Structures are given as C-alpha cells and as structure tokens.
Chain A
Amino acid sequence: MIRLVEAGRGDSAYTQVFLDLLDERHPVYDGVGTATVVRMRGALLLALGHHALPTAALPFVLEELESPHEAWLTAVAARALRNHPEPSAAFVAPLLSALFYIGQRDDTVRLDSYGGYGFEGEPTTAVAEVIRTIGWLGKAGERALPRLQQLRAQEPGPRTAAQLDEAIAAIQHEARVETPECCGHARRFVDAPKSAPTDVAELVLQDQSGELLTFRDFFIGRPSIVVFFYTRCDNPTKCPLTIAKLGRLQQRLHSAGLGDSIRTAAITYDPAYDLPPRLVQYGRSWGTSTSENHRLLRTVGDLALLRAFFELGVNYGDSGLVNRHRIEAFVLDRAGRIVEVATRQQWEESQIFEAAVALTGEADGREAADGQQF
C-alpha cells in the first residue's frame, strides 16, 4: 500500500486506483485496526492532493472535514483541499465543522510522515491546517468571517489567535471576485444500488423490544427511511448525530401527519454486540423515538445480505468491530426498493423528508402493489 501510494502520488493515472481504495468496502480494510485505516486513508488523500486534487476526490476530503475525528486525517484533508484548483464557497461549511469539532481533539501531526507519528518533519496541527485552508478560500470564504471573528474574540490562545488573524486578513484582502460554487460536489443523492428486495426479503431482524420480524414485514407496504449506526461508534459527528437527526426527522413526519405512513428504521452495523437493551438505551440517549412504525433494528440473520443489499460503506477489524464507516441514509419505496441514497457527507433532514414524502403518492401505490407480489 505504501509503495503504491508513493509510486502514484500526484500522478493522474493513479487517481481511480486511489479513489477505489478509499471505498470502505475495499478488501484492503478487511481485518485491520482503526489506526491502520486512518493511516491508509490519510496517505491516499495526501497522494490524491499532491498536485491538483481531482474533483472526484472532493467527497472524501469534505467528509473528513465535516465529520472529523482524527487530527491527522483532518489535517491531511485540509491540506489536500488547498490543492484543489478552485476555492469554493461550498467548502466553508465543512471547514467550519472541522474547526468546531476537531478543536477538542487537536494534536501535533507531521504531514510528511506516514500516519503523522514521530518527531521527524515539520509539525503542524489539524486546527492550523483547517484555518489556513479557510484563509486560502479568500473571497470564497467570506461566509466564514463572522465565525472566525467570533472565535478570535473568545481569546482562544496565542497560536490559534495568530492563525485566525491571518485567515481573516486573507479573506478580507482578497481581491478576486467570488466564483460560483463549482465542481458538482453539492449535497445530492448518489446512485441507488441495483440489488432487489427479494435478496433480503426473508432476512430476520430484531427490534429494540426483542421482537423478531423479517425485512419483508417491516419494509414492504409503506415507504421508509433507513439509516445505519452502531452504539460503539466513537465519532460524535457520525452515529450519535445520525440518530439525533433521525429523531428530528421523526418529529417532522409526525408534525406533517405522516408518522404512520412513512416508516423509519435505524439498523446497527454491529448486530452481535448491539442487543435490544443497548438499542433502546442508545435511541433514548440521542432522541429517537420507537413505535410500531419506527424501530431500531439489528439483524439476527446474515449480515452479509444486508451489506450487499444496501452496499454499505462499512468494514470491520480483526476484532469484529467496525473499523471504518461512512454516513449513509436510504429512502425505500413501499416495495422495499432503494430509491434514494445519501452517503458520506451529512444528509439534510429536508432532503430525506421530501424524498420519502414523494413516495407516498398514488403512482407509487401502484408500484407497491407490484412489489408486494414477490
């Protein structure tokens, strides 16, 4: 892996190879520890952004900024983004998210060393790299100014203050005219997997109360919203946030009178550990409600079927614990088919809500009747 990255660093012929290696389902992540995963992904992002960061790599870079957890990866993502040919106002929100979350977990890293470890090389920090990248945005970073000025007023300490001063000056003194948001990296649905619900129809699931049911029982008959999580996730911007957002989405459905016509499910990546009492506790902790149509689920059948059906972006270390996953939310029609998928970057509640509501119409009803025949 290291040799491959070194050989292809900054070489566009390797771009697709590196992008493929960033897919969590790639066998390179099978059975390795979280620390190794972090190192590999950091090396890949650095290699992709060595000269000019390709637009196809933006979702991976922005993901690390929006849901930061490891100082090394955040620093790498911020550095790589500065090598994107065009600063964009669309980068502001992920960069501010990185600044907000990684501040409490910041660390000294060395971008020239594999994994950022050791005492060799030029030291930097995740926060320094993020602030520098906000400054690099120039005019395109104008929307970050109020937040930067607010942080500066809070007397954050001499190092951060100096970095903020530089970034604020860079944005304020940038003469360039702001360019429209570029590059097609706006939040949107990605292509839905082609797998059919028949593949998982008889898969046995268990809900938070211990009740056993099949995929067919819950997901056929009404449109549904599905998110994935696991209770041992240690990144507050991933699973805890996903479950909290699902809770808000449920409230929105209830307010719109759709609480019984659109179902929601949060399914764990870690079914062997996430027993029903743990699901209950986790849902309560993060504000998701449960009822007949809204459940927290684990599979007691073959997890591989579930992974294949949803094409889940998850992998596991040799301890059997998740070593990496992306954020992912799905909207299923009443035949249990996946019709919309939001992955990697944070999904917006309104985006998912509207996609699910669109499936409650009459036309979809006819499709559902077909779907129920399988």
Chain B
Amino acid sequence: MSIKDYRRQLEQQVAQEGARAAEPSGGPQADLPGGPGDAGQLRSLTTHPEASPELRAAALGRQVRQEDPGKAHAAPLERLADPHEAPSVRLAALGLLKLLAISSPTFPDWRPMFLEALRSALSEPTLRAAALEVLTHEGDRSTQEKLLAGLRDPAQALVPVDHALRLLSSDPHANVRDVARSVAGNPPNEAALLQALKILASDPESVGEFSSLLADSSKSIAVRKLAATALNNLAPELLPSAPDQRLKAVAANESALAVPDDESALAKHIGTLIRVGREPVHR
C-alpha cells in the first residue's frame, strides 16, 4: 500500500469514528437502520418530517459513515444550508462536515458551498460559535469584518469581546490591533484583557505597555506573565535578565518561602523564557 493510500485509509477511519462519535448517545440511534443495504432508508429518515431532530441527526451521522468518501458531504451540507432545518440537526451536520473537511478527497470542490452555508448559519445563535470557529480558521475576511464591527459597536456583536478577539487573533492580517489596544485600555473583564494582550504581543509598538505591565505588581499574575512572554517575543533585551532580589532568590531556589506565590510564579516564568532564549543564533 502506498503512503498516499495509507493516509487516505487512515483519514477515512478517523472520519468514520468521528461520525460515530457525533451521533447522540443512547435512545434514537438504537432505532436506526444500520446495515449496508439501509442507505436509502437512512437518507429518507434524515429528512423525514415526522422523525425527531435527534433521530434525524443520528441518521445523518450513520449515513455519512456509509457513504462513499467523495460524496459523504452532500447530505450534511444540505442540512446545514437549510435555514428551516432544526438547529440541532444543523449543528450535527456542521460537526460532520468539519471532520469531512479533513478526510474528504473532494473537499476543495465543496469548500465554497461549505463556507457559504456557514456564513448563512451565523444568524442562528445555536450554530454561531461553531460556525465562527470554522470561518475564522479558514481566514474568511467577511467574518473577520463582522467580528471587528461587533468589537467597535456592541450592538453588532455576534459573540462576547474575549471570544471575538480570540477568533481574530489567529490571523495577523485581520487588522485587529487598534481594537485590541482599545479593549486593553478599558477591558470589560479579565478574559477580554488577556485576549487583547495576546494580540498586542505581536505588535512592536506595544513594547512600552508590556514593560509597564510587567513591572506593575497591582496587575494579575496572568497579565504579568503574558507581558513577560510578549516582551520576550518583541524585545527580549528588555526582559529583566536580573530580576529584583526577590525574583532572583526564587530563580535560584533560595528563600522561596519568603516570596509570594505570584511573584514566585512570575520569576519562574521569566527564568524559563530567558533559558529558552539562550539558544545560540547561528549564522
């Protein structure tokens, strides 16, 4: 067997196991047809108007397992794109399509329809978070702009601030720096502050702010550790190579008991950053 065939076989196994895992446990699936000759029954059950959404979601999962890998996406794609379908069925379809996006040999062919279906799913609150994850992972510009609009105007927000920032942080070209700065300056909560700082950790112009945060003992340890990591990323020479006496003592495992836990954790974090950064740079 060639490496390519072996890889395809593995991917199909993963997709099948994933489809099985996506089926609701217990109840409905016990009533499902499951034999190799039952594909037609499964297909009709998936859209049967009198079957419960749970049963139809389970049937969809089993149908995907039985279909040819190159065509298995068709039924879940149709379910996801249907705005009149029950949200739980659409969510199950979305989960199946995420798996098929990895394993389907025809994914490039149906990727445009998948993204289109996901964009239409954003209006459904039950689906929104899952759809946003995939769309931002795929670098969808229109989704990025919607998230940015929501950060600038809370009335347009699709998700909470920290969630939106986390989604946008995966693409340095999402143009989110200024919004992150604004959030960091007036954060609605600690989670939003941390997400904003993670974005600014790749912004060379934020070095001064990170130096200040690292030195500010009134800030939480999570914020100060993040500031240290950011400085190590942007201007490692500004990382305190000789922290104050208390930090040095902790780094040397001396008098550790006399140092507050937070300071101890921060000193260890900085010590790790410095140790890793000592790896020589070769020409």
Contact = CB atoms under 8 A, between A and B. Distances in A.
Nearest to B179: A319
Contacts of B234: 273, 275
Contacts, number: 102
Nearest to B204: A272
A117 B70 CA distance: 28
B109 A156 contact: yes
State which size class the interface on A falls in.
35 or more
B10 interface: no
B108 A232 contact: no
B137 interface: no
A119 B112 contact: no
Given A103-B108, A157-B110, A318 B178 contact: yes
Q: Which of A125, A157, A318, A319 has the most CB of B within 10 A?
A: A319
B22 interface: no
Interface string A156-176: 111110000000000000000
B282 A70 contact: no
State which size class the interface on B falls in.
35 or more
A106 B142 contact: no
Contacts of B275: none
Nearest to A324: B173
A33 B177 CA distance: 11
Nearest to A209: B283
Given A34-B173, A209-B283, A320-B177, A160 B113 contact: no
A318 B175 contact: yes
A157 B110 CA distance: 8
Interface of B: 70, 105-106, 108-113, 115-116, 119-120, 138-142, 144-145, 171-178, 202-205, 234, 236, 281-283
Given A35-B175, A160-B108, A108 B145 contact: no
Given A208-B281, A280-B281, A321-B173, A107 B112 contact: yes
A159 B106 CA distance: 10
Contact of A107 (B115, B171, B174, B204): B115
A317 B175 contact: yes
A108 B115 contact: yes
